[in-house]
Amino acid sequence: MTGLLDTLPAGQARFLRAAGPGPELAADPMLATLSERRDFPSGWVFERKLDGVRVLAVRAGDTVTLLSRSGRRLNATYPELVAALAAQKCADFTVDGEVVALSGGRTDFARLQRRMGLTRPRDVEASGVDVTYYLFDLLRLQGADTRGLPLRTRKSLLRRALAYRAPLRLTTHRNEGGGDALADACARGWEGLIAKRAESRYRPGRSPDWLKLKCSLTQEFVIGGFTEPGGGRAGFGALLLGHWDEGRLRYAGKVGTGFDHRSLVALRALLDSHAAGRAPFAGRVGEPRPHWVEPVLVAQVAFTEWTRDGMLRHPRFLGLRDDKDPRDVVRERPERVSGAGSRPGRR
């Protein structure tokens, strides 16, 4: 192992493992846990929470592969990212990050959705949507699995391993954060912050070492049906939403705002293509004459709170997600802590 890995702090080389050039390390990314925590001791770093789609990138020699969180290949959707990574002097790495579309300096998920799912070059070009790839972690470098290194070390290697020119950016971080930092992020129109233990290792799956601190509540929901439009509205009235709980799709309410005429018409056609003969939800849904659909579409929804009976209050549709497996959509429950220096625990 030569090059950047020779600059590791004393004693950290023992955390490295040999890693092949394939996409195996990107198959199960590390995930953050929603948290209500606001007080943090030293030893945490804070990144901007980006409103985009998770993308992992693997470069092995002349080959670059972009993968969604669920393992779907995305090269045709984001060819400019493939080109930017292929142009790097470093030819052996696996990185983790978020693809976003920017509007007025803020991430705009609705704008990004116009680009998601496109695979034909002419459609990508015609979308008019430029994307930016914010990189925040390094899983492999120069033939070594770097996931066992502390986060600070991985971020240092990532900063030095690649050249950051549009459309690539390095995700910066603060060494201090908490309630005031989150309030500042919300005032800037950000989605929130990601708090990470500075010494944490990169481990597959959801972890209390990475915490999501959100400005407002948002999460994914499975679409199980829709209602007919009223008045002069096109397409449909509202989407019927649910989440999985112990193998059953539980109804969580309906969302009828956040759509324009174009999205109403396009989404109605998509819903009709997945029509189902019976309700996918467990229990009764109190809507007259609903249309049922197969539970295969995932919607991103913002809302103010959960009601006591598990319904969404003031939901607003943000867009469809094609990077999430519907079977993985569950109700996100924030971690709670009893003290500023304690580790968050499962509720």
Topology of domain 29-50+173-215, per CATH? Answer: Dna Ligase; domain 1 (3.30.1490)
Angstrom distance (rounded) from CA 342 to CA 322: 36
33-42, 121-130, 181-190, 331-340: least confident range:
331-340
Angstrom distance (rounded) from CA 293 to CA 225: 5
Q: What pLDDT does 335 receive? A: 74
Specify whether 196 is catalytic. Answer: no
pLDDT single digits (tens) 46-91? 999 999 999 999 999 999 999 999 899 999 999 999 999 999 999 9
pLDDT of residue 197 exceeding 50, the answer is yes
Topology of domain 51-170, per CATH? Answer: D-amino Acid Aminotransferase; Chain A, domain 1 (3.30.470)
pLDDT single digits (tens) 1-44? 358 999 999 999 999 999 988 899 999 999 999 999 999 999 99
pLDDT single digits (tens) 206-241? 999 999 999 888 999 999 999 999 888 999 999 999
Q: What pLDDT does 342 receive? A: 37
**Residues 262/263/265/267 CA torsion (nearest 10 deg):** 160
Q: What pLDDT does 189 receive? A: 84
* Residue carrying structure tokens 């708090």: 195
Q: What pLDDT does 216 receive? A: 85
Angstrom distance (rounded) from CA 127 to CA 125: 5
pLDDT of residue 345 exceeding 50, the answer is no
| Mean pLDDT within 242-265 | 96
| Mean pLDDT within 261-269 | 95
Q: What pLDDT does 336 receive? A: 58
| Mean pLDDT within 175-182 | 87
CATH classification number, 217-328, choose in 2.40.50.140, 3.20.20.110, 2.40.100.10, 3.10.20.880 = 2.40.50.140
Which is more confidently placed, 249 or 188?
249
Q: What residue segments make up the domains of the chain, in order of their start? A: 29-50+173-215, 51-170, 217-328
The active-site residue, picked from 49, 155, 212, 254, is 49
pLDDT of residue 344 exceeding 60, the answer is no
pLDDT single digits (tens) 282-341? 988 999 999 999 999 999 999 988 999 999 999 999 999 988 999 999 999 887 544 433
| C-alpha closest to that of 250 among 271, 224, 275, 231 | 224
Give residues with Cβ within 8 angstroms of 159, minimum separation 6: 170
Residue pair 299/241 in contact by the 8 Å Cβ criterion:
yes
